Amino acid sequence: MKFFVDTADTAEIADLAATGLLDGVTTNPSLIARAGRDFLEVTREICALVDGPVSAEVVALDHAGMLREAEVLRKLAPNVCIKVPLTVDGLKTCKALTGEGTMVNVTLCFSANQALLAAKAGASFISPFVGRHDDNGFDGMELIRDIRLIYDNYAFATEILVASVRHGVHVLEAARIGADVMTAPPAVIRGLFRHVLTDKGIEGFLADWAKTGQSI
């Protein structure tokens, strides 16, 4: 499973990229606003930090407006992936852009039927929001299972990008189901490294090493 980080914080992206575990980045208008920087500038900088896809979201709601914004965004770097909402105009834009060879991430997916439509429109990635789905009384991971089954039934090439990931259990379940990608905030990714027994083991080794009086 590919790991994307969901942030516009370039320092966090650079640090995680240095681990060799980062396969891409997702951003959205809310994350850009939190970064407090120029949208085009920060997107260009992020694209230089990773080799994989960097999702940059359009803010227009109509097809013509989305295409205009996409034209600006895809000129920033070859690894820009245009992010569009799962609406009629969003899928029209998806079809047009992927037909020209541009990567498209269809976002704000909350049903398997929506995911089916996105795949038929040629989406490179579909982003089901599991955490928000859970918040509203649904089972986010059951949605991922349904999408995986449908995509496998018809051999769709669209990759399932599990979004709105809140904790390590979401990551584990997404991997068990066979999702192609998960995107999570930096804190969630860093949390995957931690385990109380790992910390305890390191403490014990260091204590024993200190008793030897040696150094390397």
- Between β-strands 80-85 and 54-57, what pairing exists: parallel, antiparallel or unpaired? parallel
Query: Rounded CA gap, 141 and 88, in Å?
Result: 25
Q: Which residue has the tokens 């509203």?
A: 136
Question: Rounded to 5 degrees, what angle do the CA atoms 116, 97, 92 make?
Answer: 50
Which residue of the set 83, 92, 95, 120 is catalytic?
83
| Burial class for 67, CB neighbours closer than 10 Å (0-12, 13-18, 19+) | middle
Whether the Cβ atoms of residue 56 and residue 27 lie closer than 8 Å to each other? yes
- Which two structure tokens, joined as six digits, stand for 125? 């990635």
CA 160 to the chain's CA centroid: 10
Task: Return all residues near 61 (Cβ < 8 A) that are at least 6 apart.
Answer: 85, 87, 89
- Which two structure tokens, joined as six digits, stand for 130? 């599991």
Query: Rounded CA gap, 131 and 165, in Å?
Result: 6
83 carries an active-site annotation: yes
E strands, 110-193, are 125-128, 159-162, 181-184
List, by residue number, the catalytic residues.
Answer: 83
